[in-house]
């Protein structure tokens, strides 16, 4: 090797005179609008939700997640925009100059209440953080649709063809329940808890993992998240990154470990402590949040604010921890 290159190895490198940084973001023109009569100014391209959060106005959301493209399906975040025939989803609607937004009008509250009642009457939301408070806040009464209809048998909902669904007679509230899908050692799918927010589909698709193992199948009330041809996960394209679990807002997707502990009655979040550390596998440096109960890791998540992975992990990061708590047997 030349002496030139040897010298580079021996001497510490010279420092740049300026600290390298990313080029500055293009400045966005300011947009003026009113929120509940208050004049606010936000950068162009902001959503109404961005503007509300910047102004300290609380807007409930279910399907929205900062790291995913808004799909505005749950309609819990709707607001009233003067001149708009219908309520608009604040998570995806961009601000426009002069827009007049009402975030807490009776029409808005009524819309949110209906959405919450329909969801809560059909879906088991007992593990969805924040939903009980939302139901209270909007006076939602899911039981007004009557008692829940019986759950579908295994395979029943999947077998229905679009358009062949019989309309209910009104005696009971239709529910989306079906048996929990337990088909692998790493995670389970309990679509009785699914609100069809699309977050898992997006995380599996273009927003993160780009594996496309799942999509929405069926139409109307029979719409559901499914692998291709409803194949069990081990026969599907799934690579078990578990990013669908990471984004699921209702507990429909769950670590097998959590599912079994809940079934056994040993799951106890009050006794769980979380610790952030770095994944022990490759050199990317994803943050792992270890959820430890009674001296053992029970689940792993990753903080959405991490610049490295934005909350996403791979199969090794999310599920590869058990080696650390292996104990000699026999």
Partner 1 sequence: MEETDLVVLWGSNARETHPIFFHHVLRGVRNGARLYAVDPRRTSSAQWADAWLGLDVGSDIALANAIGREIIAAGLANEEFIRRATTGFDEYRARVDAYTLEYAERETGVPAALIRDLARAYATAPRAMICWTLGITEHHNAVDNVIALISLALLTGHVGRYGSGLNPLRGQNNVQGGGDMGALPDRLAGFQHVENDPLRARFDAAWGVTVPPKRGWNLTGMFSAMERGELTALYVIGENPAQSEADQGKAVRALAGLEHLVVQDIFLTKTAAMADVVLPAAAAWAETEGTVTSSERRVQRVRKALEPPGEARDDLAIIFDLAARLGADWGEPSAEAVWDEVRRLSPVHAGMSYARLEAEGGLQWPCYDEQHPGELFLHARLWEDPVPGTRAPFVPVDHDPPVDRLDADFPIRLTTGRRLDSFNTGVQSGGFRSPLRRGETIDLAPEDAARIRVADGERVRVVSRRGAVEAPVRIDEGLRPGLAFMTFHFPDDVATNLLTIDATDPKSGTAEFKATAIRVEKLRPVARRPRRSRAIVGARGGR
**Per CB under 8 A, 278 contacts partner 1:** yes
Rule CB under 8 A: choose which of 56, 167, 283, 330 binds partner 1.
Answer: 283
Phi, psi of 10 (to 5 degrees): -80, -35
Structure tokens at 25: 């973001």
DSSP 22: P
**Per CB under 8 A, 1 contacts partner 1:** yes
- Piece of the chain touching partner 1 by CB under 8 A; list 46-54, 97-105, 120-128, 279-287: 279-287
Judged by beta carbon, residue 105 or residue 289, the one nearer partner 1 is 289
Considering only residues 237 through 256, tell me which ones interact with partner 1, judged by CB under 8 A: 238-241
Q: How far is CA 229 from CA 125, 190, 232, in A?
A: 27, 18, 9
**Per CB under 8 A, 45 contacts partner 1:** no
**Per CB under 8 A, 44 contacts partner 1:** no
Considering only residues 295 through 314, tell me which ones interact with partner 1, judged by CB under 8 A: 295-297, 305-309, 312-314
How does DSSP assign 213-260, residue by residue?
Answer: -EEEESSGGG-EEEEGGG--GGGSS-----HHHHH-SSSSEEEHHHHH
Phi-psi region of 230 (alpha: psi -120 to 50; beta: other; left: phi over 0): left
Considering only residues 3 through 42, tell me which ones interact with partner 1, judged by CB under 8 A: 4-5, 7-23
Rule CB under 8 A: choose which of 45, 98, 130, 285 binds partner 1.
Answer: 285
How does DSSP assign 72-121, residue by residue?
Answer: --S-TTEEEETT-SS-EETTTPBP-TT-EEESS-HHHHHHHHHHHHHHHH
**Per CB under 8 A, 138 contacts partner 1:** no
Smallest distance, Å, CB 91 to partner 1?
21
- Piece of the chain touching partner 1 by CB under 8 A; list 121-129, 131-139, 170-178, 277-285: 277-285
**Going by DSSP bridges, is the β-strand pair 187-189/253-255 parallel, antiparallel, or unpaired?**
antiparallel
Judged by beta carbon, residue 58 or residue 185, the one nearer partner 1 is 185
Are 252 and 267 in contact, with CB atoms under 8 Å apart? no
Q: Which residues pair with 136 in a beta bridge?
A: none
**Per CB under 8 A, 287 contacts partner 1:** yes
Considering only residues 254 through 273, tell me which ones interact with partner 1, judged by CB under 8 A: 273
């Amino acid at each position: 090797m030349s002496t030139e290159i040897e010298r580079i190895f021996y001497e510490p490198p010279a420092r740049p005179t300026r600290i390298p940084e990313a080029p500055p973001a293009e400045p966005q023109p300011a947009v003026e609008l009113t929120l509940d009569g208050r004049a606010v100014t936000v950068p162009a391209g902001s959503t109404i939700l961005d503007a509300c959060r910047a102004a300290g106005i609380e807007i409930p959301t279910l399907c929205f997640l900062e790291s995913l493209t808004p799909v505005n399906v749950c309609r819990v975040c709707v607001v009233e925009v003067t001149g708009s025939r219908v309520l608009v989803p604040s998570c995806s609607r961009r601000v426009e100059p002069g827009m007049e937004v009402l975030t807490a009008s009776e029409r808005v509250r009524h819309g949110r209440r209906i959405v919450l009642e329909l969801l809560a009457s059909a879906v088991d939301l007992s593990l969805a953080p924040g939903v009980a408070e939302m139901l209270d806040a909007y006076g939602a009464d899911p039981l007004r649709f009557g008692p829940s209809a019986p759950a579908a048998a295994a395979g029943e909902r999947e077998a229905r063809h679009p358009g062949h669904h019989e309309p209910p007679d009104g005696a009971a509230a239709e529910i989306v329940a079906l048996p929990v899908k337990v088909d692998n050692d790493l995670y389970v799918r309990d679509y009785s808890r699914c609100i069809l927010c699309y977050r898992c589909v997006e995380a599996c698709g273009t927003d993160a993992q780009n594996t496309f193992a799942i999509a929405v199948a069926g139409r109307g009330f029979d719409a559901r998240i499914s692998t291709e041809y409803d194949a069990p996960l081990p026969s599907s394209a799934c690579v078990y990154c578990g990013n669908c679990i990471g984004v699921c807002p209702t507990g429909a997707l769950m670590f097998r470990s959590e599912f079994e502990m809940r079934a056994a009655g040993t799951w106890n979040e009050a006794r769980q402590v979380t610790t952030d550390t770095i994944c022990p596998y490759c050199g990317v440096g994803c943050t792992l949040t270890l959820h430890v109960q009674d001296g053992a890791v029970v689940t792993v998540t990753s903080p959405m604010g991490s610049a490295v992975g934005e909350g996403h992990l791979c199969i090794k990061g999310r599920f590869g921890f058990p080696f650390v708590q292996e104990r000699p047997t026999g």
